[in-house]
Structure 1
């Protein structure tokens, strides 16, 4: 037994333990099949366990009755296949983890979860779990932990960035290609859209039982439908779209890294705000920040999809313009909120004032936000909007000081910074 490494987990709240459990099984997932050679690789064995793990991931972010049923059916299907196959520690852990999540008795759930974690007795996994736990405790929603890469701790026992070990067979690649993308999303901290994952989890049992080819065909239909429906509901903001994205494409490597860095920073600050204040929501003026990480990550992902030659298709250029437009519109919304905030200061409660000060003290964020967005845009009108946001912030600083709030703290935190291209 490996109880020595689970002693620290005994007193964890159930939700935290469940998230750690799913992260444990995700890290072990590449070792699910007993044999990955072209001759012996079993697609059905892989698929039944992949289905179970996907349903588990959906369940810890949305514990609805239909997702619970999907997870139960998936785990049952994987168990039914057991008598015919050699099991691995990972395949056993996945089914055990599903049982731990779905048990209704709290004490039994915890015992089962800890026993499952003990099936994966590697120090690398335990060290990474401690880092996960630090993140979980700073977040207000379960899904945020999945926006962190699976591995941020040095790994000795395996290559954490290798793709799922499928045999190099065209049939396997075609039928299981979705799962490579799905798993890489978790590896990189950029999971596939949760609604898309949810739709895959809810594929009818009869299709799952029909085998990999039927499942692959259904997933393709789901992806096509999802792409159509999401594109229909995504608004465009032509007035905020840059006239050219050439500068962005030319600097795509740096731009992508900067956008992702800003996304992580905003997410971390939001998590810290919830942890420090106990508030369930951001102050009204700062609500636009909560939508920015996904917009930043979407734009970064499009840039990463451009070939190394730097030749972007017309469709990609248009997508970049539209995604820029959505992001710029959100920044403009933040600017508008700050512009109207100064009219409301005298009516703010002490708690509201503290919430505003929390955000105005985040010097690095306020500096990085316009710098990152300015750096990869050539549209002067859009860049001027970002300047106006900083001007609004400076005006609020003056008003806050007039209201007798902590002047030295406010003055230091809201000091204007040098703008790109300015002396």
Structure 2
């Protein structure tokens, strides 16, 4: 079936599964998104920000996820939908018809992703109609997507594989009717360039958008984690979210951004004005960690920490080394250098712990669990929350990291780490046996 108008788009969509329709709608949103060149790129203007957020979540929702992640994405999509809908009604920059179309297409895509439209196939068709009003050749490009998605389904591949194709046909393809109009290329370049004024805020979105256009999407794990940034942080605005994205991006890549050494040295000198007080705090943190770890091992089902949490055992030694560095006096410069080195080591251990938790999360999401293994995960989650990652330890750890690194809580790695702790425990609590394995399965594949 060839898609050439709204009716044929609805007819084709009506024969597809929800993931395929979600991918289809998201691709149409991506094609129309260059209209954000008409929306202010100021980080104080939320319209552009909400369009990008909604389209990101629409794209990620088309992928395959565990039930826990799917539920979280549905909530994230609902929040994004409500925020963008409100912005469409109130923001003056949406008075521009093209900008308004981009916003409505993004809203439609994220609504399709969560099945919010009464008939999601009509929602997908509506997106194409709006896209065609802004970008010529949108029906032809959508028809190309439909052909790709049909082939993907025939090969039993996930619908999200369609994002591996360029958004518009490449010059070597014979599908000239679906080619990107020259004026649209300029609009995209203009929209991208407008983000250069505040690269700290928009750099991720530039990379993400370029990847989606060229068929080289950023790693889905990274996109998923950004989609699941807590709603209260999205509500604060682009600057707050960009800081959180930078920490997620850094942890995912394994390239840990070092602490600002000039700021750290200045802070360390202030710590050295009351070395005994700071040393006692570090020693107390080490003892508390050791006590909580020992309690968990005593009460837990095995004499080991859960997967992803093993790095906690490195922290007591790091805090004791900080305590020692504070108590040994060898001159101002030597004392400063020694303590700076230990605090940098603490920063690295925290980053590694965050990476370990992320890897464990995704290993469990991909695991095929037997009934027994799923029950063991749920038991581990309860034990971990009670004996290890309780509110007392989390609060103490956050305060000590802020004190020794000399940073405000929101500028620390700690909020991202705390979120990883919570997500890992919630994932373990929600563990269920694989349907394929059934009750008799005894092994899992990681």
TM-score normalised over the length of structure 2: 0.46
Higher percent of residues as helix: 2
